[in-house]
Amino acid sequence: MPRSLPPPSDESEPIVITGIGMIASVGRDRESVWRAVRRGQSGVRSLRGLEGIPDDLLIGAPVDVPVRQPGELKAITLLHITAAEALADSRVNLEGLDLDRFACAISGHMGDTGFVTEQHEGPHHHRIDGAAVPWWQQWMPNTGCSSVANRYGLRGPRICHSTACASGLIDVLAAVRAIRDGQADIALAGSAEGFHPLFAAGFHRMGVLAQHEDPAQACRPFDSHRSGFVMGEGSGMFVVERLSHALARRARIYAQVAGGKMLAEAHHVTGLDEESAALERLITDTLVDARMVPDEVGYINAHGTGTQQNDVVETRGIRRALGSAADSIWVSATKSMLGHLVNAAGSVELAITALALRDGFAPPTMNLTDQDPQCDLDCIPLVGRAQRFESALKLSVAFGGHLAAVALRRWTDAETGFPYPAAA
């Protein structure tokens, strides 16, 4: 369509979520994943054949879908699945939009390292015969971002961060920033993760992967017997846009991205500051940005890895930031069901947070049967709770000291929002 002058930048105009796509081990689309999470279904199981971890120790939460083309990285396939779902959900008409003002913010993924294995094991060890997508076309970690943007002809800002397990959340914030800065009116934002041998081997050597005779019980966030996380696969994708743009095309609105912040711990690559000073500041600054007070927060989707250190430090940061309000806020860790999706963790868990607001339902923390006294929040053990709440937080606490938080506010307008389900 003909180019038009961009509207003047308005920092105060709300940015809203109008489309969500999601896939994970427990479902192949947004609503099937959400239904499974609501009922506490785990996608974690025993696996075999992933380089880097012995088969007798290998558990994870895989997504059982074929790649689109032989040789394509699974993360890229997952990105295309959720991008298509998010765009369809938003009911956006690409032919009627100025695609020069349609941004794409998709996190980096592990590039295809097939050639590395070939150097050590021979040219046919890692190669897929007749591969339509050779490794050198997927070597760059921004391949998925470019592939999705090219598929839909999106010519606005193209943004790709690699910030460990905060990546998905940070790229959503980057999309919001591009809209606020006047560079775009609408954006596709999210991330994906597929199992990769280097991640598997690295996490195994670090000793952070959980083990249990029953794989579904391995990841136990906030539990006294927690021993680490399990790897998962999946993707979460959003359509976010300025409110006036959404209203002009009569879009349905899930939630407002009311605020968000990024900070860092100048501490250690994998260890956390036990005083939780940076996390406390992150939560406080996010609430200020969102113009919320602690009592307004109804639900927090925690990073909640199930490692000994993370859960205590995260609890401490939440308590110090929210004060006495923390006693009445529900907190859960959905990694207990989906595994740790690393690059995709932030976006998938933000999607779950938005759906929790939509339906007035806080999902459970599974396997929480003996809560650690140091993790003294209401962590919703085993069974989710139906309760209408208007605001929620999503936290990401990533390797490398990357911290990110997003505050969502439920969209309550009867004409453009979603009504609460009758049973809620």
Say if CB 106 and CB 67 are below 8 A apart: no
Catalytic center residues: 165, 303, 340
Nearest to 247 by CA among 14, 416, 5: 416
Q: Quick one: 117 exposed, middle or buried, by C-beta within 10 A (0-12, 13-18, 19+)?
A: middle
Q: Which fold has domain 260-410?
A: Peroxisomal Thiolase; Chain A, domain 1 (3.40.47)
b/e 197-234 (16+ beta carbons within 10 angstroms → b):
bebbeebbeeebbbebeebbbbbbbbbeebbbbbbbbb
Nearest to 418 by CA among 388, 395, 384: 388
Domain assignments of the chain as residue spans, ordered by start? 15-248, 260-410
DSSP assignment, residue 390?
Answer: S
**For each of the chain's 424 residues, which pLDDT tens digit applies?**
445 556 555 678 999 999 999 999 999 999 999 999 999 999 999 988 777 677 777 899 999 999 998 889 999 999 999 999 999 999 999 999 999 999 999 999 887 776 666 655 555 545 555 677 877 788 788 999 999 999 999 999 999 998 888 999 999 999 999 999 999 999 999 999 998 777 777 777 777 788 888 999 999 999 999 998 899 999 999 999 999 999 999 999 999 999 999 988 765 545 555 667 889 999 999 999 999 999 999 999 999 999 888 899 999 999 999 999 999 999 999 999 999 999 999 999 999 999 999 999 999 999 999 999 999 999 999 999 999 999 999 999 977 778 999 999 999 999 999 999 986 4
Specify the CATH number of the domain 15-248.
Answer: 3.40.47.10
Whole-prediction pTM value?
A: 0.92
pLDDT of amino acid 308? 86
Half-sphere exposure for 335 (CA within 13 Å, toward CB): 36
| Common-topology check for domains 15-248 and 260-410 | yes
pLDDT of amino acid 77? 97
Nearest to 282 by CA among 407, 115, 114, 135: 407
